Every structure is written in C-alpha cells, then in structure tokens.
Chains A and B, each alone.
Chain A
Amino acid sequence: MSEMKPTPDDSVEDIDAFIEAAAANLHDRKEARRESWRLLRRRPSFIIGVVIMGFWVVCALVPDLIAPFDPLDYRTDINASPSWPNIFGTDRGGRDVFSRVIAGARDILKLAPPAALLGVVFGVILGLFMGFLRGWFDTVASRVVESFLSLPVVLLGLLAVTTLGKSNLVVMGTVAVLFTPVVARTVRSAVLAEADLDYVESAKLRGESTPFIMFREILPNVSSPIIVELTVRIGYAVFTIATLSFLGAGPPPPSPDWGSQVSDNYNAIVSGYWWSTFFPAMAIASLVIAANLIADSVQSVLEGS
C-alpha cells in the first residue's frame, strides 16, 4: 500500500496549484468530449454503423410495425422461396423469414449490449482496483485474469448454460463474466499510466478517500479506452451469443432468435433452401459490422490513430 502515501516532499502551496490544474483538467475533458463527438459525426463509417444499429434497435422496439406477419404463429407453405408476400421466403415451419428476422433483433439486442455493458462495468471496477491498489491484490487478480483469458469463451458459456439452466440471465451473466478479465486488463494498464500523474497526487494530498480517487478522479481520465472497449465488446457479445444459440444454448423455440434460426435451418441449405439460413445469418453479420464500424470510429477519434 506504500504507493498510496503522499510523497513527503510535497509542500502545502503546491496543493492549490494542483486543485487549479484539476479544474482545468475537467474543463479540458468537456471540450475534448465535444470535439470528439464533432469528429465522429463526420466519419461516414460511424454514420453507417449508427444507421444499421438504429434500424435493428427500432426493429427490436416495435417489431410489429415492420414485420408484415406474426413471427411465431403465421404459417403458410414450408420452405417457400422468396416471393411476394414472403419476401425472404418461409422456413421449415412455414413461417415468414422476413418477419422472424425483424422480430429476432429483440432477442439479441436485449442480451448483447447489456451483457457487454455489464462485462465492462465489472471489468472497470476490477481494473481500477488492480491498477490503483497494486500490490498483492493486483498480483493475485492478474493471475486470475490471465487464467480466465485462456478459457475458451464459448465452451464456458455452454458449460454455464448446461449446469445453471437455459435462461437469458445465465447467458447474459456468463458473457459478462467472461468479458470482465479482458476489460479489466485494458483498464488496469490505463490506470497504471494515470496513477502517478499530478492530479492523483493532489487528490491524495487533499485526503480524498480511495474510492473517490478511483471513481471520481481516475475513471473520467481513462474513459476513452473504456468507451472503446464497450463498443468493441458489443460486437463480440453479439457474436458470442449468436454462437451459443447456434450450439443449442439459445432461447427455446419458436423464438426468432437469429442464431437459433441459423441452427434450425442450415441443414436445409443442401436441399436448396438457402434463404432461411442466409437472412438471419446476414442479420447477425450486419449487427456485428455495425458494432465494429462504430467501435473503429470511436477508437480512431478517441485514441487518434
């Protein structure tokens, strides 16, 4: 815990300077945020990503307005090729693929972003403690984080679902837990770089509590990598959850979940019924692409590459 003690040669008059610097720092941060936002809005890839993501969010919120048919109960001929009114064809149960793709947005969007967010929150907390406290806590936590990183994510997800039961909460929680170490590692190195800076020292001199310094002083200054991490994790979460669904850990039928749709229908590709797999697969891809486009843009702007 020796790192936390103020260094003995700090003199009293420096404190005011530190406080001033901290205030300026806060102002700068607001400026920088406004500037980043302006830069972001000028990037076409960001706009495209937001439009795609926005489309799926709308689908998730009001699927009934967009989907022409009931995604679950409407039935007509099975495996009918795309034509009016079933523009994406029908699946092996005779349901409208277009309506199911639209409705499926809700299944993924209610899981992936919260899972990513939860993982980032856990990771930020863990990373802050690791980077700020250092010492034995950091050593032990780093080892555990390393061990988690070498675990095969999808398999662990399946294991959790098999032992804890199939439920949204389990899937979300598992993905969050599996993302935590990655985020923690990123945040830890960012915090390590900040911990020795002046404003931290000034806060310590002011006698602020450890949680205050971590969450009110350091956290805002490492927000860039955290925001980048969050956008990147959303893409990964979509991917991971879709894979889990494909492997049988998805929501129960007749859910229009995209991964489950692919899993239910890909057997039919060899019979020539490609549409019931293709469209949900493209939906997954488009959402991942959107998340990646946003993440790339955010990363470029915030980290200036």
Chain B
Amino acid sequence: MRRFILKRLGAIVINLWLLATIVFVVVNVLGGDIGRKVLGPTAKAEDVAAYNALIGTDKPMIQQYFTSIKNIFTLNFGNSYQSQSPVIDLVLPALGRSAKLAILAFIITIPISIAAGIFAARRQDKLADRVVVNVGLGSSSIPEFVTAAVLLALFAVHFKVGKVYANPPAGTSIFGQLEYLLLPAMAMVISYFGYIARMTRAGVITALHADYTRTATMKGLPPGQVMRKHILRNALAPTITVISVQIGYLFGGIVGVEKVFNYAGLGTTMLNAVGKQDIPVLQASVLIVGIIYMASTLLADLLIAYLNPRVRLDAGS
C-alpha cells in the first residue's frame, strides 16, 4: 500500500513537470511580444522593451523555461504579466471559488444520481429505468452553457431566485453564499447527473447478475444487506472513477458556466490568461487543475481498493 502511494506520488511529480513543459511549449510556440500585449498598442517601443526586461521575457527561451520550472518546485509562480501582482494571489482565490462551486455541485449530484442509478438498475428495462436513462442521456447532452443561460434567464432574472453575478461579496455568510452559488451549481448538476446515474446503473446491473450476488441471495441474506455489502461495493468502482475524473474537469473545464454567471473561478482565470497570454497565471492554474485531477484519481483508486479489497493496487494503471 505504502509502496503504491509513493509510486503514484512520484508519478504525479513527473506528470506535473511534463504538464508545465507542455504549457510552456504551447504558449511560447507562437507567443509574440508579451510586453506589447500587456502595455497595449499605443505604448512606445522603449517602454515595451523595459517591461519585457522587468518581467524577464527578453531572456533566452531556455533560460525562461528553467526559471519557470524552478519556480514551480519552489512554489513561486512569479508575478502575473498582466497585473504585476503575485500569481498565487490571483490563483488561490480563484481556486477557492472553484472548490466551493464544485463541492456544492457534487454534494447535490452524487446522492441524487447514485440513488437514481440504483433505482433504475433494480427496475431494469421497466418504465422507471427508461425514464432515468433517457433523462440522464438528455441532461448530459445539453451543453452546460445552455443550461446555465436558461437557468439564469428563468430564475435569476425572471423569478429573482438566485443570482446573476455568482461571486458572493466578501463577508457573506455560508448560507448567503449558497444563494449565489445555487444556479451555477444546478447547471453543473444537470450536466453530471446523466453521466453518474448511467454509470451507477450499469455497474449495479453487472453486479446484480454476478455470481457473488446470486450466492449471497441463495445464502438467504436480506436484500438490503446484499445491496450494501455485495452489490454496491463492486458496482460503485466505475462510478467512483467517473466522479474522480469529473472533479478535475469541474475545476478547469466549466468555463461556459463560469462565463454565463460571471463567476471568477479557475476556468475564467485561465480564459483571461489565455487571452492575454499571461503565462505565469496559465501555468499555475493548469498545474493546480492537474494536481487536483491526479489527487482525485489517486483518492478514487484508494477508495475503490478500500471498498473492494480484492482489487490489487499495483496491477498496472
């Protein structure tokens, strides 16, 4: 177990280095003049040169690369090209906001969709099953930015339930914040419900037909116990994997929802950084999303192993 975790942690470090390299290469392939981008078209050439010298973008590419990699391992992401303030001051609050939204979305989604998945599986091919399957398919097929726009127009503007600007003002209480986050979270819930419910359903159906379930039922165990001890433990493995992958996605990929609700999460931060080619901000955000993704998949593997001790952790990836 310990060896497994250490091995995975080692892999994570290498992956992060690769990630940082990929971002650096992509951004610099056709990067252009950062100073010009930041100072704008009307700035004088000497000011632009001075700015590039200030932020270090006049140095040779290889030196910039080593600086940026070194900065990652010292957790010093440097200053934003755009605002000149430390990257960490920009990215950490965004991370906090993304985390709040993601946690809220998952608190709502996970129980509902797992319950729906089990419910449907136990009524396989009956009407209830068809309804869950098709609602799930539909809800996860509508792009989340559309769901978000509709929720915003309908609730925040028309019924005045929830908020248009989803950023809670500083000092808002937890319950106050819920009002701000509810609609964007709902947009995400609608998108993810389908994936998770369908994955749970498939897992449960497989487990229901498995030998160990038949054995347990024949041994005369009560159905509730069979469900908890045998079916769920086995059936939830793919669901947990799906959820762990979605967590990484939730932090960086829901730009559409963040844009519609003007939410200043990691997605928006990255979107703005892309537009301005703010490499330090981009690099820090992508790395953070990467860390979250890798950590959540690691946790998922551990959780699956805990639920089902027969899974061998070191049996390849």
Contact = CB atoms under 8 A, between A and B. Distances in A.
A246 B146 CA distance: 10
A259 B149 CA distance: 13
Interface residues of B, number: 51
A155 B270 contact: yes
A85 interface: no
A148 B22 contact: yes
A196 to B, nearest CB: 13
A164 B275 CA distance: 13
A277 B146 contact: yes
A146 B255 contact: no
A139 B157 CA distance: 53
B18 A247 contact: no
B227 interface: no
B253 A147 contact: no
A164 B251 CA distance: 25
A289 B31 contact: no
A163 B29 contact: yes
Interface string B56-88: 000000000000000000000000000000000
Interface in A254-305: 259, 262, 266, 269-270, 274, 277, 281, 284-286, 288-289, 292-293, 305
Contacts of A164: 29-30
Contacts of A159: 26-27, 274, 282
A142 B317 CA distance: 9
Interface string B301-317: 00000000000000011
B202 interface: yes
B138 A152 contact: no
Nearest to A291: B141
A2 interface: no
Interface stretch (B46-54, B173-181, B212-220, B286-294): B286-294
B286 A143 contact: no
Contact of A239 (B143, B248, B255, B286): B143
Given A143-B15, A152-B286, A247-B271, A289 B256 contact: no
Interface of B: 11, 14-16, 18-19, 22, 26-27, 29-31, 137-138, 141-143, 145-146, 149-150, 152-153, 157-158, 202, 205-206, 248-249, 251-253, 255-256, 259-260, 267, 270-271, 274-275, 277, 282, 286, 289-290, 293-294, 316-317
**Closest CB pairs A-B (n = 10):** A152-B252, A150-B293, A147-B18, A288-B141, A269-B153, A150-B290, A281-B146, A266-B149, A289-B141, A285-B142
